[in-house]
Amino acid sequence: MKKILLLSDTHGYIDEQILKHVKQADETWHAGDIGNIMVTDTLKKHGTLRAVFGNIDDHILRKEFLLDEKFTIEKTRIWMTHIGGYPNRYDKRIKQDLALAKPHIFISGHSHILKVMFDKKLNILHLNPGAVGKHGFHKVRTMIRFKIDHERIYDLEIIELEQRN
């Protein structure tokens, strides 16, 4: 069993509120728009980090991380990318390969809108953790935490941090 913390769109920002949740997770997954290498260096100090680069990330982050991260954990297939869309509105770069790859979980960021949706057509759980940074139009900073045990995904929780003004 693994405890996962999923976040996205830090845009160079990290604070103790975020780190409190990172410290409780076995792995932290970052779905892009990291902002700078200091963010991922800080996350790595507290455990396993899996991340993808986003559209605002510079050459340093693009060298460190991939556009797509496809991996298996606890017999659960994961595909994480920054710009991927969501059920019935997948990005054209993703759409065709998604049906072939058959991940159990498809993760994207970018929109700053938290979404948890099940794609009945493809039998995929789609997760977008929203944005946890302070840059963007979102009013509430959000993350998602959940557990994976073999192919079972459970105890999914939305984490809301303080409202932005």
DSSP 98-139: HHHH--SEEE--SS--EEEEEETTTTEEEEEE---SSSSS-S
Sequence-distant (≥ 6) Cβ neighbours of residue 165 within 8 angstroms: none
Q: Which of 52, 33, 31, 49 is nearest to 41 (CA)?
A: 49
> What's the CATH number where 121 sits?
3.60.21.10
Token pair of 64 as six digits: 């460190």
Q: Tell me what pLDDT residue 133 has.
A: 93
Q: Which of 61, 149, 156 is nearest to 107 (CA)?
A: 156
Contact 64, 50 (CB under 8 A): no
Q: Evaluate if residue 163 carries a pLDDT over 70.
A: no
Phi, psi of 64, deg, nearest 5:
-80, -35
d(CA 162, CA 60): 30
pLDDT bucket at 164, cuts 50 / 70 / 90: low
Q: Convert the pLDDT of each residue in 101-134 to its tens digit.
A: 999 999 999 999 999 999 999 999 999 999 999 8
Mean pLDDT, all residues of the chain: 96
* Number of domain units in the chain: 1
Q: What is the pTM of this model?
A: 0.96
Percent of the chain past pLDDT 90, that is, above it, reads 92
Domain containing residue 21? 2-163
d(CA 84, CA 86): 7
Which amino acid, 6? Answer: L
Q: Convert the pLDDT of each residue in 18-46 to its tens digit.
A: 999 999 999 999 999 999 999 999 999 99
Which 3 state secondary structure label does DSSP give 12? coil
